[in-house]
């Protein structure tokens, strides 16, 4: 039997992150799960059995370089290797047009959504080279679409997607992909409905409200299943790709060849 894969997942206490964790557990993985505090893990950890020796709980702020480096170091110290990194942690705020945005809030958004994955990637690269591992960056359709009121988020996700292209070019032994997870029923969508009116066009805000009212938001487990597959099985031929969650190449047996 091959050794279980070791995967580090950020933003792992809720939404897509905890769904990815649950999916990976069904695959027998050893997991390092990271979020801001143990309190944020409270409900999620009940579902994933925190006493399980295959789970390492990590706390800290992905915006802090020292926390990113520590997470990778503690993961390798605990499990002896690292096979995949899932950069899932992300924030939408500030919901503000660029002209009115607070520079500090804008900077923090980039620190979480772009610089956090940079620091994690930099720390993880030596270990992922050794394991010929994978990196999955959870991006967004906002990476290629300008949405009024989402200035920091759009720019950060565009940067994350291009970081994926760059890593694929520079790190031939690591398979790196970016994923657009779709419009998912998470706390981020709740924030859009609650505060979007102050920065978004009425039409755009109504669009997101209608998705919720009509039951069209995706369950987090839908993109999570695809992200988990990529973390464990994405072939080198996909390295550098920006994939929609429903791309037929994800989970397709022929893609592995």
Q: Give the active site residue among 108, 140, 157, 226.
A: 157
| Residue 95 exposed, middle or buried by CB count within 10 Å (0-12, 13-18, 19+) | buried
139 is catalytic: yes
Gyration radius (Cα) of the chain, Å: 17
89 CB-near residues (< 8 Å, 6+ apart): 10, 11, 17, 34, 35, 62, 112, 116
108 is catalytic: no
Question: CA–CA separation, 41 vs 53, rounded Å?
Answer: 17
173 CB-near residues (< 8 Å, 6+ apart): 128, 129, 132
Contact between 93 and 109 (Cβ < 8 Å) = yes
Angle ∠(254,234,61) on CA atoms, nearest 5: 160
Question: CA–CA separation, 60 vs 94, rounded Å?
Answer: 21
Q: Give the active site residue among 13, 108, 153, 239.
A: 153
Q: Concatenate the DSSP letters of all residues of 194-241 into one string.
A: HHGGGTS-HHHHHHHHHHHHTT-SBPTHHHHHHHHHHHHH--GGGTT-
Q: Give the active site residue among 5, 13, 108, 139.
A: 139
Contact between 222 and 20 (Cβ < 8 Å) = no
Contact between 83 and 51 (Cβ < 8 Å) = no
The catalytic site residues sit at: 139, 153, 157
């Amino acid at each position: 039997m091959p050794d279980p894969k070791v995967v580090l997942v950020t933003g792992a206490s809720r939404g897509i992150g905890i769904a990815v964790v649950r999916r990976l557990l069904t695959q027998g993985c050893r997991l390092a799960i990271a979020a801001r505090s143990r309190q944020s893990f409270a409900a999620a950890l009940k579902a994933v059995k925190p006493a399980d020796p295959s789970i390492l709980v990590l706390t800290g702020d992905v915006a802090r370089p020292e926390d990113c480096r520590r997470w990778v170091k503690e993961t390798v110290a605990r499990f002896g290797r690292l096979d995949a990194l899932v950069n899932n942690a992300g924030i939408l705020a500030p919901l503000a047009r660029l002209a009115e945005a607070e520079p500090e809030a804008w900077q923090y958004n980039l620190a979480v959504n772009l610089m956090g994955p940079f620091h994690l990637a930099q720390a993880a690269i030596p270990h992922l080279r050794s394991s010929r591992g994978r990196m999955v960056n959870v991006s967004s359709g906002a990476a290629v679409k300008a949405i009024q009121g989402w200035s920091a988020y759009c720019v950060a996700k565009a940067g994350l997607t291009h970081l994926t292209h760059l890593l694929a070019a520079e790190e031939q032994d690591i398979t790196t992909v970016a994923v657009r997870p779709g419009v998912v029923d998470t706390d981020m969508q709740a924030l859009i409905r609650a505060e979007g009116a102050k920065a978004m066009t009425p039409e755009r805000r109504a669009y997101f409200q209608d998705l919720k009212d009509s039951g069209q938001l995706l369950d987090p487990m839908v993109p999570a299943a695809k992200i988990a597959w990529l973390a464990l099985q994405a072939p080198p031929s996909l390295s550098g790709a920006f994939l929609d969650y429903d791309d037929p190449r994800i989970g397709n047996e022929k893609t592995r060849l």
